[in-house]
Structure 1
Amino acid sequence: MTQSLIPEGNRWKRRDVLRTLFFTAGAVGSATWLTGCGGSGSDGAVPPVVAGDTPETGDLPETVEKLVGRFADIGPLRAPDVHAVRTPEGFATRVVAINGELPQPQGMAVSGPQTGGIGNRPWHIFPDGAGVVARDNGGWIYISNSEVPGVGSIGFTYPELAGLTNIVEEFTPGLAQVGTLVFDPDGTIVDSYTILSGTTFNCAGCVTPWKTWLSCEEFPNGQVWECDPFQPGEGLARPTLGFFSHEAIAIDPGERLLYLTEDMPDGRFYRWVPDPSDWPEGSERAALQSGRLQVLAVGGDGVEAALDSPQPIEWLDVQNPHEPQHENRLPESTVFDGGEGVWFFNGIVYFATKGDDRIWAVDTLAQTIEVIYDRATAVAPNDTLSGVDNLFVTDQGDILVAEDGGDMQVVVILPDRTLKPLLQIVGQDISEIAGIAFSPDGRRMYFTSDRGGRDGFGGFTNGLGMVYELILPEGL
């Protein structure tokens, strides 16, 4: 990768460069702990910290000072292990899937590819957003998107061509998919299968409260697809959730609302309000067939004032919800530069924007928005986070942020807003970290290096994608 491929003054990172490389290489012509990439919170969790809770002096109130987060006491990162991952003392890793290889019951050996394996499909290319659902036997299923570009992705890189490429995309089967790893209670992998195929550039999504997977297509006419993680299948498109470069989704089950990010330089932040018949009060799930798509507008002193204090917001019904939203912008709606991960937790919707390296917090009760992390104004040692991407919020209020580029770290924003690195992948500099999800008991954390792979010498380097498991120490 050369820096000259990135437009001057534009903070689009490795992923966007790879889109360009993919097409110039001619590839288009070839064919709670249970949640991930936009969770729905958990009962009994500690309240999140937002700037509106702090007095004007900037001191944290006593109740906030007592919130320490699950990862507050982890130590510094050690030297890389055999899997090229730096972790704090007491943590361990294993590799559970590598592109082109069949998953193995006990994980992937360091020495090289193995014969045989689980399932009837090698692990997919470019694993990205992910989630976990529990199985009835105490095991779990890890669900993983495949972020393969398609014809429609050309319209992302070159918006002036989106009108044409959106049409071609409708008649061109995509190369992306969604795959699974099925685990027994002891962590043994027992199966692997596909639950969605024929789509394009599936980035993130979320596990729903009713245990399906919503997979987001990230191109200007992209849709959201609902998948059953418990059996092989093809998924169902949910056009009511809009047509745009979908990145991720978070669900507020109490208020029956979905929140959605858009990964475009002039992207917006959306919510979906179901019709009463689509998600009746007391019903365990939404049908996801009819509702209103709305877009966020920041009022008060404007979006930049959210750096200093919460600003009021309002929600506007979008124009022409069944058409690509980049062609139907409401001028009064607010621009968010490259929407990434999003997560609902205890009344707060957190989301990331990569264009300006910010983490935002929307208070759904007060109807305000503020910035809780801004790379440009962060002061050492709390300035280690860059390339913000996927998000995961623990039930103790830790915000885990995966880096797209940056230092290839997962960084924890603790409830008091201090930062701590949780892990770092080395030797895979054109990759990104994504796919954070936990086993139901919280003892194992999964994450991807979506452009990582074997180096042919018993180690790991840049490649076509792999999935790691982080084993947490006892007592954490």
Structure 2
Amino acid sequence: MSELPANAAASATRRQLLARTGATVAGIAFTGAVPELFAGTATAATHGSGGYGPLVPDPDGLLDLPAGFRYRVLSHEGEPMSSGQGAVPGSHDGMEAIRGRHGKLHLVRNHEIRPGDGKPPVPAVERLTYDPTAGGGCTQLTLDERGRLLDERVAIAGTAVNCAGGPTPWRTWLTCEETEGKAGVNGYTKDHGFIFEVDPDDPYRSGAVPLTAMGRFAHEAIAVDPRTGAVYETEDASKPFGLFYRFLPDKPLGGLGSLRGGGRLEAMRVPGVPDLSVIQEPGATFEHVAWVPVPDPLAQQTSVRLQDYGAKGITRSQKLEGCYWGGGAVYFVSSYAARAAGSAADHYGQVWKYEPHRHRLTLVVVFGPDTDIQLPGESPDNISLTPHGGLMVCEDGDGAQHVFGVTRRGAVYPVARNRLNIGTDEAPEYGEFAGATFSPNGRTMFVNIYTPGTTLAITGPWH
């Protein structure tokens, strides 16, 4: 999950940072070619102006949903896992539904455990633990054809600050460490900041092996080009802001373990654009995007984003987060940008599209304030395409927390609202959503509440 830049005041919220520019954040809106976001997905009819109707208050005070929808709690932090390996860890973050063998479905779930945060850690398991002093990692839930929970267990342990990641074409999960902590820092015995591969059918086959050639930095998410095997990676970092990368493996599309075989890590350079936040007009296009070799992917002495990329410099962006592949292009998200945090310009969220075969980058959509106070959304984080031709956005802002849907026509509608107040009556607070993902048959949306860590299955008249 994202965090405030290190050079921002600890008490500053995203809204406060943006408010310093004189803007008012009241709702969510889009400008730009919204249908671009759904490239390569099915087309579905919309319900009226979009959405499933107003949210109905949950009498149990957990999750408001539209009429006709219902939820089940699959897992909650602190409860014992059925595997007997320990308690369910906290800080539920990125997640993917991956089809398994014999009709089973695996939910591979990240846990963004930070040193000293007091959250239940991922239990250390022999042969699945990278660094026993780190509390992050992945767990996985296995469901049968009817959606019943069969098993819950550790998939990888001993990693740190596992934020997001992404699936591979060969049905594994790449989990990303959003940290640059080295051995000796925070009690770690090994360097962190890597990507690890998880095989949900048999986690012991993948083990706990860092994919070192893919770089050591504050990873956020990845997307794999299913034609070439190139892996695109976002970096959520500050002082200075992060970069957008691609990894060209020596064994592209080679299946489980092939990414251990090495490759070339490169960073994106957009000619004449040192900071993506200055681009504000949807449809703005840049040809001849260049990829510059990363001098030292392991960042042995200098952070990857601080290394020497030549006289032409490199392109940065604040809050690079979600990343996905669709329609022959990779899409990536800048959650927000604020001058008060050191960015060159302000925005409430951008979605960019890079077309590898054309070496072309386009600003597709810009998020912005609107007047509907019932939709207090900004700072898009996890973004996922649905089997029904829509988009789901996990809000990562302040105040009420929603999962929003977006239609091809750009209509924004609420899908779910977290009603569990973890603050006080005077100062309510709600855990953000993360990891929205659909079952392959499109009948169930799975999503996490970050705090307290909760995984839910939502069913209903999806269309």
- Give the CA deviation at 1:321: 1.9
Structure 1 residues 215, 362: CA separation in 2 closer, same or farther (over 3 Å shift)?
same
**1:423 pairs with 413, 416, 420, which one?**
416
Aligned position for 1:227: 198
Question: Which residues of 2 match residues 126-205 of structure 1 at below 5 A?
Answer: 126-150=91-115, 173-205=133-165
Residues 31-64 of structure 1 show CA distances to partners (whole Å, capped at 9, x for unaligned) of xxxxxxxxxxxxxxxx97239x9xxxxxxxxxx9
Task: Give the aligned partner of residue 160 of structure 1.
Answer: none
The answer as to whether partners of 1:67 and 1:416 remain within 8 angstroms in 2 is no
Match of 2:340 in 1: none
Q: What is the match of residue 320 of structure 1?
A: 296
User: Partner residue of 1:439?
Assistant: 439
Map of 2:36 onto structure 1: 50
Q: Which of 54, 64, 77 is residue 86 of structure 1 equivalent to? A: 64
Going from structure 1 to structure 2, the CA distance change for 1:285 and 1:132 (only over 3 Å counts) comes to same
* Alignment partner, residue 334 of structure 1: 315
- Please identify which structure carries the higher helix content: 1
Rounded to whole Å, the distance in 2 between the matches of 1:397 and 1:297 is 32
Using the alignment, how far apart are the partners of 2:203 and 2:227 within structure 1? 30
Give the alignment of 1:35-74 within 5 angstroms: 49-50=35-36, 72-74=50-52
* Contact 1:305 1:311 (8 Å CA) reproduced: no
- Kept in 2, the 8 Å contact 1:300–1:311? The answer is no
Pairwise CA RMSD: 3.3
Query: How far is 1:440 from its partner?
Result: 2.1
Equivalences, count: 381
Change beyond 3 A, Cα 1:135–1:433: same
The yes-or-no answer on 1:404 pairing with 2:396 is yes
- Mapped contact 2:166–2:223 kept (Cα < 8 A): yes
How do 1:347-386 residues align onto structure 2 when only pairs under 5 Å count?
347-356=328-337, 357-364=348-355, 365-375=357-367, 377-380=368-371, 384-386=376-378
Distance 1:119 1:415, change over 3 A: farther
Q: Distance in 2 between matches of 1:193 and 1:333?
A: 42
1:239 counterpart residue number: 212
Counterpart check, 1:387 vs 2:359: no
8 Å contact from structure 2 (residues 51, 414) kept in 1: no
Q: Equivalent residue of 2:101, what SS?
A: coil
Instruction: Give me the TM-score of the superposition, normalised by structure 1.
Output: 0.72
Deviates more, 1:179-188 or 1:290-299: 290-299
Equivalent position of 1:272 in the other structure:
247
**1:90 to partner: Cα distance:** 1.4
- Quote the residue 2:122 is aligned against: none
1:121 corresponds to: 86
Q: Percent identity?
A: 25
Q: CA deviation at 1:242?
A: 0.6
287-296 vs 365-374, greater mean Cα deviation: 365-374
What is the letter of the counterpart of residue 80 of structure 2? L
| 8 A Cα contact 2:282 2:364, kept in partner | no
- For residues 233 and 135 of structure 2, the distance between their equivalents in structure 1, rounded to whole angstroms, comes to 23
Q: For residues 72 and 314 of structure 1, do their structure 2 counterparts lie closer, same or farther at Cα, with a shift above 3 Å needed?
A: farther
Could you tell me which runs of 5 or more consecutive residues in structure 1 were left unpaired when the two chains were aligned: 15-46, 54-63, 104-116, 153-169, 453-464
Are the structure 2 counterparts of residues 199 and 301 from structure 1 closer, same or farther at C-alpha, using a change threshold of 3 Å? closer
Q: Equivalents in 1 of 2:437, 2:86: separation in Å?
A: 22
- Residues in 1 aligned to 2:294 and 2:273: alpha-carbon distance in whole angstroms: 23
Pair 1:145–1:403, CA change in 2 (3 A): same
Partner secondary structure for residue 97 of structure 1: strand
User: Which residue identity does 1:451 align to in structure 2?
Assistant: T
Q: Which runs of 5+ in 2 are unaligned?
A: 16-32, 118-129, 181-191, 338-347, 423-428
User: How far apart, in 2, do the equivalents of 1:235 and 1:69 lie?
Assistant: 44
Q: Paired residue for 1:61?
A: none
Deviates more, 1:440-449 or 1:394-403: 394-403
TM-score by length of 2: 0.74
Closer, same or farther in 2 for the Cα pair 1:292/1:68, shift >3 Å? Answer: farther
Q: Structure 1, residues 404-426: CA drift from partner, whole Å, max 9, x if none?
A: 23331111232222212211112
CA contact (8 A) 2:377 2:397 kept: no
Q: Which of 87, 96, 113 is the matching residue for 2:74?
A: 96
Cα distance, 1:362 vs. partner? 1.4
Compute the displacement of 1:93 (Å). 0.9
- Work out the CA distance in 1 between the residues paired with 2:265 and 2:405: 32
Q: CA deviation at 1:10?
A: 9.4
SS at match of 1:50: helix
Residue type at the aligned position of 1:322: L
Q: Which residue does 1:471 correspond to in 2? A: 459
Distance 1:267 1:314 in 2: 17
Q: In 2, Cα distance between the equivalents of 1:422 and 1:469?
A: 13
Task: Indicate the residue corresponding to 2:264 in structure 1.
Answer: 292
Partner secondary structure for residue 315 of structure 1? strand
* 2:281 equivalent in structure 1: 307
Report the Cα offset of residue 240 of structure 1.
1.1
Cα distance, 1:79 vs structure 2: 1.6
Q: Which residue of 2 aligns with 1:216?
A: 176
Is the 8 Å Cα contact of residues 405 and 430 (structure 1) preserved in structure 2? no
Matched residue type, 2:383: L
1:257 correspondence with 2:230: yes
Deviation readout 1:133-176 (Å, 9 max, x if unpaired): 11232220111111111399xxxxxxxxxxxxxxxxx9872111
